[in-house]
Chains A and B, each alone.
Chain A
Amino acid sequence: MATVEVKNLRKQYRNVVALDGVSLEARAGQMVTLLGPSGCGKSTTLRCLAGFLEPDGGDVRIDGESILSIPSNRRGFGVVFQNYALFPHMTVAENVGYGLKLRKCAKSEIHARVVEVLRLVRLTGLEDRLPREISGGQQQRVALARALVLKPRLLLLDEPLANLDARLRDEVRWLVRDLQQQSGITAFYVTHDQSEAMAISDMVAVMKAGRVAQFASPREIYQRPAERYVANFTGEANILTCRTAVPAGETRMRVGVGGADLEVDCAPAARTAGDVELLLRPEALRLAGPDDTAAFRGIVTKCAFLGASQHCEIELPDGNILKLAAPPNARVVPGESAGVVIDCTHAWAMPKVPA
């Protein structure tokens, strides 16, 4: 159990600024996910934590003490790599027992702990196989066991599921989360898959070009994103440019958009921002029936039948386009007018930030 603080971490490779002031923290036992597109600095952050890379500036503290001067082999962190990084010349048991052997544990103790951890990752019986004699999912579970058997203070996982197919990914993902929660180990998890990030983490850091764009719980990241970039990265989003926006109470604003005037929750920064954008997730929108009072009216520009629903695009009077799912049998005809009901509790105003 450890508290981790990452403060203003900086790292530059010759001419690329990989980390431009990354700050995060993980409370004891939390799983913190670094989420972001390729090249945004997720691995670099993790490698600085692991001690494979020395940051140019900033600090990493565990329970209040800086660890930057401690070499990676004395940090006592477990690391799981995307390519598993199992030792190809050692059996599964030897791989898992490697760290214990280095710590000069007795043979019988090594054996007992290896057997125990292999049971946890459900690999009992594969002790004497070589890594190349087991499947990718099994290899990744060996890598996980190898890190966990040492009871690390901190677990670092860099896209551990990226090389697995969808079904295995699901299975190993829950295994990782279960083991992390059972053992109460603080963990950092790198991924560029937003659903993976939301499902297993306590906190998500959405990264953007070497910075943390937002650091919050999965719910907040999804429902109350700080800016368009975060909203787009965390799920399907309609983002409309507002024509007018005035603060209305502490955390609310009145926005004029698509020919309607709505009062919605807003990000604090939106109240003082020059331009404001309105986020409407799919669950905030519904095609208006004959008895509904539609908030928006527009012209249907596109409609595709998907089976369980229809995908529609509706152009609003101010040029904004709304994408929504309509019931499969609703009458939606391109070129005709349609109404949209919105649920303002799922609407969110955010400041417009230059990309």
Chain B
Amino acid sequence: MTAAATPFGDAPAARYGFGLLVVLLYVFLLAPLVTIVGASFTSGMLIEFPPRGFSLQWYGQFFQRDNLVAALLVSLRVGLITAVVTSIMAMMAALAGQAMAGKLGGWFQIGMVLPLLVPELLTGVGLLFFLYKIGLGRSLLGLQIGHILMSFPYAYVSISAALRQVPPSLGEASSSLGATGWQTFRLVTLPLVRPGLVMGAIFAFINSFDLYTMSLLLKPVGGTTLPLALFDFLTYEFKPTAAAAATLSILLALVGVALVQRLVGLQRAF
């Protein structure tokens, strides 16, 4: 017996019903994106959908706004550093978590994803007080720390899931063949968790690029990130420039996803 084509069975009604459900789900997920991307190409003066005519003028407008471009550059830089630092930290934490036996390991796991479980606002306020205490209040470094903190759990979950797929006997085999711990990590563990590592780094980047509350609390004096700048912008002028900026962000995320596809797809082992 083969599995039914849909969870509701094979009858034509079930097939059409299921198809409809899938379409609705996609509409629900994609409608905001389609709207915003569409609106960015309007030749009119307002954010509206369907767009009026076609033009790229709002992209031009975006790049002429120095404050928006500066914010984009801050976001990109913070996001990239977050991705790199977070994935290295998460890799180490995942290795440590795996080495812990039994209950301790479970608590460690929960500790590592704590930033997901505590409201961002509370974490942000607490971190702000702490950063002021150590002289990093409202500095770029402080913002960077906040982003790393909030993105860490995503990278950790992705990497530790990948690490759990690697049987411990591989490490033992490698050791018995003469490898040091570092050689085993470099030649066996790392290649096998690489897809999870790349995925984790990209999640961390996208999460950082998106952070609002944390950035609002920690943003350095005289600097800002793209989501904050866009919100400010929209408060005063409801122009399609914002839609163009949003479209650029979406493009960036797509590039990230494509990158995962490519890197993960190239892995021989998976």
Contact = CB atoms under 8 A, between A and B. Distances in A.
A87 B170 CA distance: 7
Contacts of B167: 83, 85
A77 interface: yes
Contacts of B179: 73, 98, 102
Interface string B182-194: 0100011001100
Interface residues of B, number: 20
Interface string A113-149: 0000000000000000010000000000001001100
Interface in B144-185: 167, 169-170, 172-180, 183
B268 A79 contact: no
Interface in A81-95: 81, 83, 85-89
B268 A50 contact: no
B172 A50 contact: yes
Contacts of A74: 178
Interface string B220-236: 00000000000000000
Interface in A69-112: 71-79, 81, 83, 85-89, 98-99, 102-103
B60 to A, nearest CB: 47
A147 B175 CA distance: 12
Interface residues of A, number: 28
A79 B173 contact: yes
Nearest to A152: B176
Contact of B169 (A77, A85, A89, A130): A85
A93 to B, nearest CB: 14
Given A85-B167, A89-B192, A99-B177, A72 B172 contact: yes
Nearest to A78: B176
Interface in A210-243: none
Contacts of B172: 50, 52, 72, 79, 81, 85
Interface of B: 167, 169-170, 172-180, 183, 187-188, 191-192, 267-269
Interface of A: 50-52, 71-79, 81, 83, 85-89, 98-99, 102-103, 130, 143, 146-147, 150
28 contacts: A50-B172, A50-B176, A51-B175, A51-B176, A73-B175, A75-B176, A76-B178, A77-B176, A78-B176, A81-B172, A83-B169, A85-B169, A85-B170, A85-B172, A85-B173, A86-B173, A87-B173, A87-B174, A87-B188, A88-B192, A89-B267, A89-B268, A98-B177, A99-B178, A102-B179, A102-B183, A103-B178, A130-B268
